Amino acid sequence: MRDKVKALPWQELLLPLVAVVLALLVGSVFILYVGENPLKAYGILFTESLGSMRNIATTLQRATPLMFTGLAVAFAFRAGLFNIGAEGQLYIGAFCAVWVGISFNLPRIIHLPLAIFAAMVGGALWASIAGYLKAKLGVHEVINTIMLNFIALFLTDWLVTGPFHGGSWVPETVRISSSAAFTRIYLPTRLTTAVYVAGIAAAAVYIILWKTKRGYELRAVGLNPDAAEYGGINVARNTVIAMAISGALAGLAGAEQILGLHNRFIVRFSSDLGFMGIAVALLGKNHPVGVLLAAVLFGALQAGSAAMDRSTAVPRELITIIQALIIFFVAAEFLIRRMLRLKEDA
Amino acid sequence: MGDILAMLFNTTVFAAAFRMATPLIFAALGGILSERSGVVNIALEGMMLIGSFTAMLVTYLTGMPWVGVLGAMAAGGLIGLIHAVFCVRYRANQVVTGTAINIFAGGLTVFLLRHFFQVAGTSPAVTVIPDITLPILSKIPWIDRILGRQNPLVYLALVAVAVVHVVIYRTTWGLRLRAVGEHPQAADTVGVNVFRMRYIAVVLSGALAGLGGTYLSIAHLSRFSEGMTAGRGFIALAAVIFGKWTPLGALGACLFFGYGDALQMRLQDIGIPTQFMNMLPYVLTMVALAGFIGRAVGPKAAGEPYIKG
Amino acid sequence: MAKVLEMRGITKQFPRVLANDHVYFDLEHGEIHALVGENGSGKSTLMSILYGLYQKDAGEIIVRGQHVEITEPRRAIDLRIGMVFQHFMLVEPLTVAENIVLGSEIRKGPFLDYKKMIAEVRRLSEEYGLQIDPEAKIADLSVGLQQRVEILKALYRGAEILILDEPTAVLTPQEVDDLIQVLRNLKAKGTSIVFITHKIKEVLAVSDRVSVLRRGRKIGTKLTSDTNEQELAEMMVGRVVLLQVEKGSAQPGPEVLRLEGVSVKDQFGQVKVNNVNLSVRSGEVLGIAGVEGNGQSELVEAIAGLRRVSGGKIYLSGQDITGWSPLRIRRAGFGFVPEDRHRRGLVLDYSVADNLILGIHGSKPFVTSAGLRNQGKIGEYAEELIAEYDVRPPVANQAVRNLSGGNQQKVVVAREFAQNPDLLICSQPTRGVDVGAIEFIHKQVIAQRDRGAAVLLVSAELDEVLSLSDRVAVMYNGEIVSVMPIEEATEHKLGFLMLGGRLEDYQAGEVSGSAGQS
C-alpha cells in the first residue's frame, strides 16, 4: 500500500483539465469516424465560440443557464446531497416566472425581480419535497428527484397545453410582458443581464457556503452528518434548506430561459440543462468559480457547434457526446489519478 | 358507470397494456439484475435508446429484424460494459456515470442518425417483427383477445420474467448475485468474485434494456426517432422500485403502468388529461419509497463501489 | 502433537503503523490457541493475513508442513482454514442454509439443490451440536445464533483450522458459555482453533496455549496452565500498569446529573439501556466500567440528546432535559467527548479551527448578528486552544484529517473542556491515543473535576476507570448493577461484576486463577 500524500492544490485544476482533454481525444475518434479532421472541427469550434466578441457573447449566453444549474447541483453536493432534479426544478421555476410574467402589469423594476423571485420560490419548493422526504423518512434524494423531474415535466406540459395555453397551434404560453424580461446587452446576440444574475448567484453561493454560519452547518452535514448532529446541528433542517437553496438556483435557470431567451413557456424547452448542470458542477469541483468556468466551457462547445455542423460533416451532436464523455472522465477521478500516477486520497 | 367499467375492463385495453408494458419489462429486468448486484442503474433510459437505434440500423442494413434484436442486445450490453468498467473498476459514482450514459446515448443516436441518413428526427422505415398467433392461448376464450395474437417480443418479455425469476431465486449464480448486492464482503470472503458478478450483471442489464428498446423501433413502430424512449427507462426504474426489486413485482408494476398508458386516450375523453396518467408511475414510486404502501427498500450495497481488503 | 500451522516472521506495514513485526505463531492439531493483546496490537491483522484478506510484506506461512502463499480467501478455504469475523459476514435477507453454502453451493446443474442444502446443514448442525433452523432468515436470528451460522459456514467448507476474531465481544454471558462449550466440542473432534480476544478470563477458560501480541510484536507464548491473569495482563500492557494520576481527593458539590429510570432502545426496538438510575455530583468523577456493548454508548448518547429515551427522565442541574435537542443540552452546560472521534467528534475535512468551534459555531463571537462567520475571532480562539492543549502541529487552518490520533483527540478534548461545562461526559477519552496524550488528557479531566465539573467517564480500560474515578458504577446488560466509592473498587471485583456476577455473590479472591488486583 502506498503512502497517503496530501493532494497538491494544482491537482484540483489538473484533474478537470485532463478530463476535458481525454473527452476531446475520444471525441476526435467520432470525428475521424465521419471522415473529418479533428483539428479542423475543433478549430472551428474554438473560433466560433471564442474568436470574436460576438462569439464570446453567444458563448456566455449559452453558458448562463448552465451556470445556474451547475451552481444548484454543486450547492447540494456540498451539503452531501445529489440533486439530480435540477431539470424538474428548472421547469417549475420557469413556469412560476412565466406566470408572473404574463399575469401582471407592473413597472419593470418590480416586475422582473418579482418574476425571478417566483422562479426561485417555485424551484425551492419543488426541491424541498425531495429534501423533506430525505430528512423525515430517509428516502434517498436521487430517486425522488428523478421522479420529480418527470412529474414537473408533465405538470408544466399540462399547464401550458391546458389552462395556460397561448391559443396558437404551438404548445406554448403567450409572451410575457416586456417589463418582466431581461435586457439584452450585446445585440444581435441574445446575451442578457441574466448573466449578471448568474455572477451574483455564484458570489452568493460562495458567501453562504464559506462565510456564514448556515454554510458551516450545511458543509458539516455534507462531510459528516453524525458529527454535525453531535455538534448541535439540525441535520434534517439543513437537508431541507440545502435542497431548497439548490432548487432556487435551478429555478433561476428556468427564469433565465423564460425571461431572457424564450419570453414564453414552450413545452419541454429545456435541452437537458438540469442534467448538464451535474456535469458542470463536477467539472467545476463544486466550487462556484469552477462552476462558472465549466459552464463557459460547455457554453462554448454549444455556441460553436452550429458552425461546425454547417462547415464540416460532423453532426452537432458531437458536442453532446463530448459533454457526456467529460462527465465520464470527471467521475472516474480514480482512473485519471492512476494514469497520472498521483497518490490517492483515502 | 357501466360505460366506465366497460372502458376499464376491456380486452382491447388489456391487450394494449401488454404491448405498452413490453419494453418496460425488459428494461426493468435489466434494472433488477444490475441493482441486485450492487450497481445502481439509472442509465436504463440511455441503454434502451441505444437499443432502439441499433435495432433499427441493423435491420435497415440486413433487412432481418431478428438480427436487429441481437444487434440491439449487443449494443446495450456494450453500454452496460462501459457502465461497469467505470463503476466497478474505476469506482466512479454510479449515478453520475448513469447520467453520462443517458446524455451520451441521446447524443450518439442522433449523431449516427444524421451520419447514416442525413436526417435529424426520424429514420427511414424498416422491416418489423410481425405479430404472431399463439396456438394455445388463442384457443382460450377472453384470454385470446388479450394474448392470443401479439408481437413475439411481448411473449418473450413474459418468458424473460420467468427466466430471471428462476435465475435469481433458484440458481447458484442468483444466490451469489443476491449476496453480492447485499454484502459484497461476505461474498468475497467465501470466494465469490464480486467484480466478475457485477460485470456480468451490468452487461446483462444493458442487453436487456437494449432488448426493451428494440420493441419500440422494430415492433411497435417501424422506425427510430430522436429520443423515442421518452422516459421509459425511468418508468422501468420506477417499476423496479415499485416491484421491490423482484421480477414478478416489476412485472406487475410494468403491466400496471402499461395499463395506465393504454387507458390514456380513453381517459382523456372523459376529461382526465393524459399528462396526469403520465405522471402516475412517478408519483406512485415516490409514495412507495415513502413507505405508504409497504416500504420499498433496495439491495443494501447498491451504489457503493466495492473496494477489496 | 503435530503442528498444523506455522507463521514465521510475519511482517505487515500499514500506512501509519507497523501492524505485524516479525511475528511467529503456531498452532497444534486439536488445540485452542488464544491470541491476545490490546486493541490495535495486531491480532486481527495477523489472522487476516492467514485468511488471505491482507498480503504480508514478509514472512512465511506453513500449513500442514507445506509452504503456502494465501493470496485470497478462496485459497485459505482450500487449505481448510475458516474464519469467523467479529463483524459477521452474513447476508441478512438470505436464509441460514443459503449463507452457509454461498460460494460452495450444492447444485443440480446451474440450479441450487435446496433439499440437499438443507439436509446437509441439518446434518452438520447435529454433528457439532450447533442447533439451527436452516430455513430461517439471518435477519430474524439473535447475534448468538448468527455466530453459530458463521461457525457452520467454516465447518461446511471443511475447516480444520478455525479462527475466531473476538467472538465474545457481541455475546451475552449465556451465549459465551454456549460458545465455549461449542469450541470444546470442536476441539474434541480434532479442529484446531485460534481464539482472538482481549479478555483474559476467556483465555483462561478455554485455551490450551496463549500467545500475546503487543504493538505488532509477539511477546510470548505460554501454556495456559502455567500462567495467570496477572502475568498475561503484564505481557499485554508491557509493564505493571499503575496509571497513576496525581489528584487530590474529590470535593463533591451539589448534584448535576440525575438519571431516573432511563431506558433506551436501539433502532430495532431492542432494549439497550434498562431503567438506569444514576447521579453525578459537581466536583467528582463517576466512572462507568463495563464490557463494551453493555449499553454504555446508548446511555451517554441519550444524555447528549443524540438518542431518543424510551422511558425515564434526565435532569441536568435540576432541569428536566429529557427530549431536548443536542444543541439545547449543550447550551445548558454540557460537554461531551464521544467514543468515536472519527464518526462523531470531528469533521475530518474541516480545519482545526472549524472543529474547535463545532457546537458553539452559532454563538457569539464566532458569528455576527447577520449570521456571518467572524473568521478573526475563530482564528484567535483556535490559536488559544491550540496553545493551551498543545495540539501539534500548531496550525489552525490545517485539516484535522492530517493530525495524529492523539492530536485529533486533543482537538475534541480542547473544544469540549474549554467551555467549562457543568456536566462533562468522556467516553473512551484515550482510545487510540499515544501515551503522552493519555497523560495529558487524564490531567485535564482531573482539572475539570477540580474546577467543579461533574464528570461521567466511560471507559473499556479498567485502569483508566480506576485511576480517574472517585466513584465507580458497573454497567452490565443495559443496567447499572452496582455503584461504589473508589476505595471499595478493585480490578478484581469490577471484573467480576462486569461479567454479570452479583455483588452479594462476590468474595475477594473467588475467581480462580486470579492473582488479585494490581
**Which residues constitute the domain of residue A97?**
68-296
- If you write DSSP's letter for every residue of C318-333 in order, what string do you get? TEE-TT--HHHHHHTT
C87, closest residue in chain B (CA to CA): B186
H helices present in chain B, as ranges: 2-8, 11-36, 44-62, 65-84, 94-117, 143, 152-170, 172-182, 184-189, 194-215, 232-242, 247-269, 274-290
pLDDT digits over A297-340, tens only? Answer: 999 999 999 899 999 999 999 999 999 999 999 988 877 777 77
For chain A, the average pLDDT equals 92
pLDDT value at position A341?
67
What is the mean predicted confidence (pLDDT) over A14-26? 92
pLDDT score, position A5: 38
Contact B286 A315 (CB under 8 A): no
Assign domain C255-349+399-517 one CATH number from 3.40.190.10, 2.40.110.10, 3.40.50.150, 3.40.50.300.
Answer: 3.40.50.300
Taking Cα atoms as reference points, which of C369, C370, C462, C381 lies closest to residue C415?
A: C381
pLDDT confidence bin for A56, thresholds 50/70/90: very high
Domain coordinates of chain B in residue numbers? Answer: 2-122+137-289
Residue C15, min C-alpha distance to chain B (Å): 14
Please list, residue by residue across C9-47, b when 16 or more beta carbons sit within 10 angstroms of its beta carbon and e when fewer do: ebbbeeeeeebbbebebbbeebbbbbbbbbebbbbbbbb
Q: Do C89 and B182 touch (CB under 8 A)?
A: no
C-alpha span between C391 and C404 (Å, rounded) = 10
Answer yes or no: do A229 and C14 touch at CB < 8 A.
no
Of B166-170, C96-100, C226-230, the range with the lowest mean pLDDT is C226-230
User: Topology of domain C3-237, per CATH?
Assistant: Rossmann fold (3.40.50)
| Chains touching A by CB (3 or more pairs below 8 Å) | B, C
Instruction: Identify the contact set of chain C against chain B, taking CB-CB distances under 8 A.
Output: 51, 53-54, 72-74, 77, 83, 85, 88-94, 98-99, 101-105, 107, 110-112, 153, 157
pLDDT of residue C306: 94
Q: Which residue of chain C is at minimal alpha-carbon distance from B189?
A: C73
- For residue A63, is it within any domain? no
The answer to the question of residue A53 being in a domain is no
Kind of pairing, strands C454-458 and C285-289? parallel
Which among A154, A275, A315 has the least Cβ separation from residue B103?
Answer: A275
Q: How many CB pairs under 8 A join B and C?
A: 70
Best mutation target among B189, B200, B306 (most C Cβ atoms within 10 Å) is: B189
CA atoms within 13 A on the CB side of C444: 28
- Burial (CB < 10 A; 0-12, 13-18, 19+), residue C237, is middle
ipTM of the complex: 0.90
Q: Does B115 touch chain A (CB under 8 A)?
A: yes
Alpha carbons C285 and C450: distance in angstroms, whole number: 10
d(CA A230, CA A226): 6
Interface test with B, best of C102, C106, C149 (most B CBs within 10 A): C102
pLDDT for C513: 37
Percent with pLDDT over 70 in chain A: 95
Name which of A275, A317, A333 is nearest B110 (Cβ-Cβ). A317
Asked if pLDDT for residue C517 goes beyond 50, the answer is: no
The SS3 call for residue C87 is: coil
Mean pLDDT of C194-214: 87
Of the listed ranges A225-234, B206-215, C497-506, the one predicted with least confidence: C497-506
Read off φ and ψ for residue A316, nearest 5 degrees: -65, -15
Quote the minimal CA–CA distance from A298 to chain C in Å.
30
Q: Searching chain C, which residue's CA lies closest to the CA of residue B169?
A: C112
d(CA C234, CA B254): 67
Long-range Cβ contact pairs of B272-278 (< 8 A, separation 24 or more): B273/A158, B273/A162, B275/A154, B275/A155, B275/A157, B275/A158, B275/A161, B276/A154, B276/A158, B278/A150, B278/A154, B278/A157
What's the pLDDT tens digit per position in C331-378?
999 999 999 999 999 999 999 999 999 999 999 899 998 889 999 999
Is C291 a residue whose pLDDT tops 90? no
**For the whole model, what pTM was predicted?**
0.89
Q: Collect all residues with Cβ–Cβ distance below 8 Å to B190 and sequence separation of at least 6.
A: C73, C77, C89, C102, C103, C104, C153, C157
Would residue A56 count as lying in a domain?
Answer: no
What is the count of structural domains for chain A? Answer: 1
Asked whether the beta carbons of residue B189 and residue C73 sit closer than 8 angstroms, the reply is yes
Q: Which residues pair with C337 in a beta bridge?
A: C426
* C496, C510 contact by CB (below 8 A): yes
The answer to whether position A198 is within a domain reads yes
Indicate yes or no: CB of B175 within 8 angstroms of CB of C94.
yes
What residues of B are in contact with residue A334 (Cβ under 8 Å)? Answer: 90-92
Does B121 contact A at CB distance below 8 Å?
Answer: no
Q: Are the C-beta atoms of A92 and A122 separated by less than 8 Å?
A: yes
Q: Report yes or no on A219 lying in a domain.
A: yes
CA-nearest residue to B183 within chain C is C91
Average pLDDT per 10 consecutive residues for chain B, totaling 309 residues: 75 92 98 96 97 97 96 98 94 92 96 92 93 85 84 96 97 97 93 95 98 96 94 94 94 94 83 89 89 70 78
**Rounded Cα distance, B84 and B41, in Å:** 10
**DSSP labels, C481-517:** EEEEEGGG--HHHHHHHHTT--GGG--TT-STT----
CATH T-level assignment (fold) for domain B2-122+137-289: ABC transporter involved in vitamin B12 uptake, BtuC (1.10.3470)
Q: How far apart are CA C416 and CA C397, in angstroms?
A: 19
In this complex, do C367 and A213 lie within 8 Å of one another by their Cβ atoms?
A: yes
Q: What is the pLDDT of residue B293?
A: 57
By CA distance, what is C48's nearest residue in B?
Answer: B309
Cα C212 to Cα C35: distance, rounded to the nearest angstrom: 6
Residue C236 has pLDDT above 90, yes or no: no
The pLDDT > 70 percentage for chain C reads 95
Contacts with A331 from chain B: Cβ below 8 Å: 86, 92-93, 96-97, 100
What is the residue-averaged pLDDT of chain C? 89
Q: Is the Cα dihedral A151, A153, A158, A163 positive or negative?
A: positive
Q: How far apart are CA A182 and CA A263, in angstroms?
A: 9
Q: Do B276 and A158 touch (CB under 8 A)?
A: yes
Chain B residue with CA closest to C111: the answer is B171
Domain ranges of chain C: 3-237, 255-349+399-517
- Point out the least confidently predicted range of A214-218, B17-21, C18-22, C493-497: C493-497
Neighbouring subunits of B (3+ Cβ pairs under 8 A): A, C
Comparing C-alpha atoms, which of C288, C250, C256 is closest to residue C450? C250
Q: Which of C347, C359, C372 shows the shortest C-beta gap to A212?
A: C372
**C370-423 residue pLDDT tens:** 889 999 999 999 999 999 999 988 999 999 998 888 899 999 999 999 999 999
Contact A88, A255 (CB under 8 A): no
